[in-house]
Structure 1
Amino acid sequence: MKHISLIIFIMFFSAGTSAKAILYTPPLSPSSSTSFYCQIANINKSSKKVILEIYNGNGELVRNSTVLILPNSIKAISGSDTDSQFCKFTVVDGKKSDVRGSATLYTTAGDQSDLVALPAQ
């Protein structure tokens, strides 16, 4: 009887303890001369399905996309050009350690280089 109780206890508590692989970036505020992007890189040896979401400072969803990222490749989505925003990355079929994400501001003039990139945690 003790073994059955132990098995039920383990099944009950292990069913709800799977942590989602979710990462967030700090917010960034683009200006008229910058563009906001959420970027995610797959550093795992297998393809990963990831949900990319951009939220504004009011907690409203600005843009989202579900992507399949091949090993050692990058996907990105752009945000609005005026609101303070942050990125949310949900790794559907993997762990946080399978990917590296960032919120990035690019210049919109010249060579469109990165101005700042903040890592997701």
Structure 2
Amino acid sequence: MTLAQRAMKQLEVWPDLSSGPASCGAGRALRSVHSEIVHFHSDHDVDLHLTVSAIRRFHADLQESTAIRLVPGSGWVTVHLDCDTDVDLLMSLVSAALKAHQNMPSPAGKRPAGDECNFRRVTVLHRR
């Protein structure tokens, strides 16, 4: 079982999340009643809808992590799962994302412009 599969299996049992296809067309997504929260794009790469305000709040810590990729202006972060600690980081960030989305108004219909995940906007260089 890959790290992404293990993380997905753990998150699928969270009562606030449900599984389905990712809106970007690549992989599986977990969503809350408010929006898509996590996209599993590959065995190692996961996009997390953390929100712009949460990214701003945690920016210094996110920048320090070798597992996190940021795209300026995006409300999503890419988490590269390379070890068990990265899965633990993802679990913590999903909790933060769920909390951040609870404080946002529910979207009426279409997603706002610029609210797409980082798929194909982030290049992850694999560690040796």
Q: Do they superpose with TM above 0.5? A: no
Structure of higher RCO (CA pairs closer than 8 Å, 6+ residues apart):
1
TM-score (ref. length: structure 1): 0.26
Higher helix share: 2
Q: Larger radius of gyration, structure 1 or 2? A: 1
